Structure 1
Amino acid sequence: MNDVKKKFTLIGLGVVLLAATVIGAGFLIKMYSGHAHDAEQDDSIATTSKAVDSLCQHTDYKQSCHKSLANASDTDDPKELVKMAFDSAIKEVQIAMDNSTTLKELAKDPRASKALDQCKEVLNTSIDDLKRSLQKLDNFDVARMEEYVNDLKIWLSGSLTYQETCREGFKNTTGEAGEKMKKLLRLGWKLTSNGLAMINGIGELLGEFQLTGVSRRLLDKFPNDDAWWARGERRLLLDVDPKTLKPNAVVAKDGSGKFKTIKEAVQTVPKKNVQPFVILIKQGIYKEYVEIPRRVNNIIFIGEGPTKTRITGNIGYNDGITTYKTATVAVNGDGFMAKDIGFENTAGPQKHQAVALRVSGDMAIFHNCAMDGYQDTLYAHAYRQFYRQCTITGTIDFVFGDAAAIFQDCKMIVRKPLDNQACMVTAQGRKDRNSKGALILEGCTITAEPAYMATQPMPKSYLGRPWKEYSRTIIMQSFIDRHIVPDGWSPWLGTFGLDTCYYGEFNNRGPGANTAQRVKWKGIKKISLQEATSYTPGKFLLGDLWVKATGVPYNPGMMNV
């Protein structure tokens, strides 16, 4: 017992000591995980060269690790070394962001020019995620380790997602700008990836030492002291009657509210808002594009029903816009919530990628909402997201992204595609093996609209396909209708991602749920009850800390279906 306590203390000290490395290079992914060389760690850090070698030996990108510490000739202090690594990572991403302006002057392709504008925006957010991760570790509380580690995993995964979003913007562009930007991003990506690997190593130790006494005390705490639910303003969305609600702003098409557009109401929310700012959106079709800015937090949209209050747009990829920018509604602020709202993109299948809702804010919650479109309807882009009793419609990859997103008791409805098109419900975008990203469907219904079912022959429809190398999707306790082909899962292109993806099905039902004829890729997993439970919101999202307090219907574990 004394040895375990000693190791636990060492872990806590190690986390604090390695605070800055989470951003720069995740040197010690397995530093305290019981490997043969662990006991030699302290003795090995005796000189500068030994210190650097020791820090870098466990990283995925060793050469990048050594490069980030190349100027460490005058110190053998591990803490100073990890700070140098942090500085190197920030500088690398900053260089890429700064070059977006210079490269734009050389870009003759309009799409490349738009992609560079997008890079400037998303790389700034990537840097912001790195900085807030460092700040979190500066104030690290060992008694709240599970919560802190989860935050760090989410934000570092988000930083990687935003770097990849920069690269994605150059799809189908011409000229050299895209390749030059990708080269500029390589080192920053490697350093951030290494940092995430280290944090995952720390997270594994929570299970190894079964620190349930510490972690369970977190249930009485909240992950963000500035969040409105941390101050007792709870159960706001449960049984809310719009007639008796006292919102901060009212939007109405008929002029009965203070605002006629949602955009105007959003513009009145204070920056760095810490109060729940409730915007009541009365019945109507709102033809506008709405963006919740970064750091404009804790906004709550409440409508009068997903078929009555609808926000609609019609921009698609064929309009010369990057997929990221096609969204009718884009959520970038943290703590966003929506209830009884419809989000729509009417661009149709001819315009290809056309997003109805993009969610790029942490701890986002959607209850009884509708997301309607065709290709790429819901962009679950980054961070933690929870959906309950929502309906999502579309054709190709209509639930996609690299968020840690859980859908409970939701309905995914495949729409009739263009001739000779197949449909995919999901396209998860995890590019780094340590990323927190996953699309998890729990207790959902996967079906198709009547026009699809009536087509002869019926188009092929799949549960998903691997958008990125480490694509991860879990479908459990759900009803899968007859439109899903026996193969279940579709390739993206050739053998890409088939060995490295993670696709699991558990305890599903319905005519499309039989797994006997599923594809035999290495990435197709047969998961146990224990493993399936690890993907429930109480465990995977620590949802008891932030979802439960809102009063939204929520099952922390396996559902009763």
Structure 2
Amino acid sequence: MSALLLFYLLSLVFSFTPSSSTRNPNFPVSSEIRLACKSTRYPRPCRASLSKSSLPPNPTSLDFVRSALTVTYDKLKTGQSMLKTVLTASRGDLNRTTAATNCINILYYSDYRIRSTNDSLSRGKIKDCRAWMSASLGYHFGCWSALKYVNTTKLIGKTMSFLDALTKHTSNALSMMVAYDNFGKDMAAWVPPKTERDGFYEKVTGGTELRSKGGVPSNLKVDVTVSKDGRGGNYKFVQEAVNAAPDNPESTRRFVIYIKEGVYEETVRVPFEKRNVVFLGDGIGKTIITGSLNVKMHGISTYNTATVGVLSDGFMAKGLTIRNTAGPDVHQAVAFRSDSDLSVVENCEFLGNQDTLYAHTLRQFYKKCRIQGNVDFVFGNSASMFQDCEILVAPLQLNPDQGSNNAIAALGRTDPAQSTGLVFQNCLINGTDEYMRYYRSNPKVHRNYLGRPWKEFSRIVFMNCVMEDLIHPDGWMPWDGDFALKTLFFGEFGNTGPGSDRSKRVAWSSEIPAQHIHTYSVQNFIQGDQWIPSSS
């Protein structure tokens, strides 16, 4: 089934509220609309759009959220149409065609997420709605960013301007959801989204366990087998096995692919419609999926360099290595990229240099994994948790005396309402054996930091981790001057080891108050208690 046909069928399945064009454009701005819109970052376009929207008589607070969502969806459909026009007009220009194609794809993903949000609002699944709308906001901003680099025509400039407005409306709808979730039905209590830097911590829903005991189930039944030599297997290539999975983004059945020991040199893509695909390998260093795509040599986007890229929800993987062998001098080269909501990855290894693991969007859980790289090698704009993992810095330069500045994590959160962040719990922060030889030979020229702010509202947390001495006393690295230093949240709690001393940390990092550590539990941060299965 093609992606276009799939989304057409989905559009028939999901109902949506009437178009915003059904209300008189001269409808006055009510006091209720003002109350609802004061919870947003962009109240003026919020008031203007809701005044023209399809609000019912005597609307409830949830009706205002739905109306803001309808405004966003209507504008998204217009944006999709504009991008198709851009694509048609870009024939013969590879860069513009690539940007337009990528935009069309991610706006389709947003289309699905917004429809799912509308369906789930009435069922009280507000945390799911916030996660999906956080992803949609990321997709809209990502499309605008992609066009920024090919903005050479009036048509693209006009489309970018429209996407900027769409991003603001998406932000407003998400902000209302956050206000509704945190402050309830009384819109008089609603305020714009705040962050930990404002002293605001999300409410917790109970439970004292920070970690999850779940993971990839051990009793999974294999559907197909991949064998490098073709013996005892259904396929020789991983992608062939993925292609055999059913096309159904609403399916609850897992499709389990056993990948036998071997080195599989291929680029693997798990499409959006192939839900609940599971990769089972023979162990780290035994089952290896490898590639070498990179930005510098191949002239492609960071997103497209991934050796393995996953778009479908419910993805799981266990017992394998995924690597990008492009090397340290070719800029971005992703080993694993995921947009999979409710994803569980356990006992896997990710090897690369710059941008090794791209946790792009949505909710992801990594357990007992090994992640290796140097520059921003865990990054994205997802809500991802890393539990009991090894985070290892690899050499950036071939000459140990040349020196390097490495940041482990970079989070692309552009809006304080997004429920995204990177949380590391009970992890070991160290260097590879090779890197540590470099570091010991000349520690003054090798600096390593926990993270840096890729975007304005970056959020990265390290809790109860062991940090070896390669971590610089500053702890955290700026991105560009004072960019984001007043809005980011870089939090630490309960860490140990010679690199954990907070006495010399930069002033713009934070110690998490003990009473708020459960904000970053698996249960509260990614709702993992509801979807991470028992590993037994």
What TM-score do the two structures reach when normalised by structure 2? 0.83
Letter of the aligned partner of 1:263 in structure 2?
Q
Does 2:251 correspond to 1:264?
A: no
The CA deviation string for residues 61-101 of structure 1, in whole angstroms up to 9 with x for no partner, is: 12211332353599755367766543331122222222223
Q: Distance in 1 between matches of 2:94 and 2:462?
A: 40
Superposition CA RMSD, Å: 3.0
CA apart distance, 1:215: 6.5
Does 2:41 correspond to 1:56?
A: no
Task: Name the SS of the counterpart of 1:69 in structure 2.
Answer: helix
Query: What is the aligned partner in structure 1 of residue 46 from structure 2?
Result: 65
Query: What is the aligned partner in structure 1 of residue 141 from structure 2?
Result: 164
Written as runs of structure 1 = structure 2, the 5 A alignment for 1:10-29 is none
Is 424-433 or 348-357 further displaced after alignment?
A: 348-357
Q: Distance in 2 between matches of 1:542 and 1:86?
A: 23
Task: Name the SS of the counterpart of 1:135 in structure 2.
Answer: helix
Does 2:117 correspond to 1:136?
A: no
Residue from 246, 250, 253 that aligns with 2:225: 250
Letter of the aligned partner of 2:336 in structure 1?
L
Written as runs of structure 1 = structure 2, the 5 A alignment for 1:373-522 is 373-418=352-397, 419-455=402-438, 456-458=441-443, 459-521=446-508
Task: Name the SS of the counterpart of 1:490 in structure 2.
Answer: coil
Residue from 525, 528, 536 that aligns with 2:510: 525
Query: What is the aligned partner in structure 1 of residue 191 from structure 2?
Result: none
Letter of the aligned partner of 1:366 in structure 2?
V
Q: Distance in 2 between matches of 1:47 and 1:175?
A: 40
**Contact kept in structure 1, 2:130 and 2:178, CA below 8 Å:** yes
* Gap change, CA 1:251 and 1:171, over 3 Å in 2: farther
Does 2:294 correspond to 1:316?
A: yes
Query: What is the aligned partner in structure 2 of residue 551 from structure 1?
Result: 535
Task: Name the SS of the counterpart of 1:330 in structure 2.
Answer: strand
The CA deviation string for residues 412-461 of structure 1, in whole angstroms up to 9 with x for no partner, is: 10000034531110001111101110100000001111222222424211
Query: What is the aligned partner in structure 1 of residue 332 from structure 2?
Result: 353
Letter of the aligned partner of 1:486 in structure 2?
P
**% identical equivalent positions:** 36
Task: Name the SS of the counterpart of 1:503 in structure 2.
Answer: strand
CA apart distance, 1:108: 7.1
Q: Distance in 1 between matches of 2:66 and 2:384?
A: 32
Is 340-349 or 194-203 further displaced after alignment?
A: 194-203
Does 2:519 correspond to 1:542?
A: no
**Contact kept in structure 2, 1:20 and 1:85, CA below 8 Å:** no
Q: Distance in 2 between matches of 1:495 and 1:168?
A: 21
* Gap change, CA 1:106 and 1:265, over 3 Å in 2: closer
* Gap change, CA 1:259 and 1:235, over 3 Å in 2: farther
* Gap change, CA 1:58 and 1:507, over 3 Å in 2: closer
* Gap change, CA 1:271 and 1:178, over 3 Å in 2: same
* Gap change, CA 1:171 and 1:350, over 3 Å in 2: farther
* Gap change, CA 1:20 and 1:82, over 3 Å in 2: farther
Letter of the aligned partner of 2:457 in structure 1?
Y
**Contact kept in structure 1, 2:255 and 2:277, CA below 8 Å:** yes
* Gap change, CA 1:387 and 1:58, over 3 Å in 2: closer
Q: Distance in 2 between matches of 1:505 and 1:84?
A: 39
* Gap change, CA 1:550 and 1:106, over 3 Å in 2: same
* Gap change, CA 1:200 and 1:260, over 3 Å in 2: same
Task: Name the SS of the counterpart of 2:289 in structure 1.
Answer: strand
Letter of the aligned partner of 2:119 in structure 1?
Q
Q: Distance in 2 between matches of 1:544 and 1:216?
A: 11
**Contact kept in structure 2, 1:477 and 1:509, CA below 8 Å:** yes
**Contact kept in structure 2, 1:90 and 1:188, CA below 8 Å:** no
Q: Distance in 1 between matches of 2:58 and 2:44?
A: 20
Does 2:110 correspond to 1:126?
A: yes
**Contact kept in structure 1, 2:65 and 2:176, CA below 8 Å:** no
Q: Distance in 1 between matches of 2:147 and 2:302?
A: 11
* Gap change, CA 1:216 and 1:94, over 3 Å in 2: same
Task: Name the SS of the counterpart of 1:365 in structure 2.
Answer: strand
Query: What is the aligned partner in structure 2 of residue 117 from structure 1?
Result: 101
CA apart distance, 1:274: 2.3
Task: Name the SS of the counterpart of 1:279 in structure 2.
Answer: strand
Letter of the aligned partner of 2:227 in structure 1?
A
Letter of the aligned partner of 2:450 in structure 1?
L
Query: What is the aligned partner in structure 2 of residue 78 from structure 1?
Result: 59
**Contact kept in structure 1, 2:68 and 2:173, CA below 8 Å:** no
Q: Mark the runs of 5 or more structure 2 residues left unpaired by the alignment.
A: 1-14, 21-26, 187-203, 208-212
Q: Distance in 1 between matches of 2:460 and 2:215?
A: 31
Written as runs of structure 1 = structure 2, the 5 A alignment for 1:292-371 is 292-318=270-296, 319-371=298-350
The CA deviation string for residues 307-336 of structure 1, in whole angstroms up to 9 with x for no partner, is: 110111111112111111111111111111
The CA deviation string for residues 521-560 of structure 1, in whole angstroms up to 9 with x for no partner, is: 2xx222122212220102222222111x3317xxxxxxxx
Q: Distance in 2 between matches of 1:47 and 1:165?
A: 34
Task: Name the SS of the counterpart of 1:121 in structure 2.
Answer: helix
What TM-score do the two structures reach when normalised by structure 1? 0.79
Q: Distance in 2 between matches of 1:386 and 1:200?
A: 23
Task: Name the SS of the counterpart of 1:534 in structure 2.
Answer: helix
Q: Mark the runs of 5 or more structure 1 residues left unpaired by the alignment.
A: 1-18, 25-45, 209-213, 218-233, 553-561
Task: Name the SS of the counterpart of 2:269 in structure 1.
Answer: strand
Task: Name the SS of the counterpart of 1:269 in structure 2.
Answer: coil
